[in-house]
Amino acid sequence: ETGVTQTPRHLVMGMTNKKSLKCEQHLGHNAMYWYKQSAKKPLELMFVYNFKEQTENNSVPSRFSPECPNSSHLFLHLHTLQPEDSALYLCASSQDRVDPGQVVGNTIYFGEGSWLTVV
């Protein structure tokens, strides 16, 4: 079993649909992330949760709604998306550290991603 699992791996949805992406981490980490990867663009951080609390929202449109019920699970609820939202959505986790100078343990591990196509 991989450390970070995502479902579904592929999703095609219409612009009026509502769907959700699910992520589960089995690494005992306390931080979870959603990233978006579009063609020929750098990875874009969308949301960060640390101990279930949202700590980052990088100006993501409200049609993307995250949910983190516990430190092991993360969801991304999708509604009324646009074709330009088609991308690879990556979930990740880390054993985050917030103490200054304490860099060990903040490596991000990615899930296999969910390919989203909006038609």
Residue 117 binds another protein (CB under 8 A): no
How many amino acids of this chain bind another protein (CB under 8 A)? 30
Judged by DSSP in three states, 85 sits in: helix
Dihedral of CA 107/67/85/3: which sign? positive
Closest CB 20 distance from another protein, rounded Å: 19
CA distance linking residue 107 with residue 119, whole number of Å: 35
Please, which residue, 81 or 113, has the CB nearer to another protein? 113
55 binds another protein (CB under 8 A): yes
Q: How far apart are CA 65 and CA 67, in angstroms?
A: 7
Q: Name the nearest CA neighbour of 63 among 50, 46, 51.
A: 46
Q: Residue 80 Cβ, how far from another protein at the closest point, in Å?
A: 26
The residues of the shown chain that bind another protein, judged by CB under 8 A, are 31, 33, 40-43, 45, 48, 50, 55-56, 88, 90, 94, 96-103, 106-113
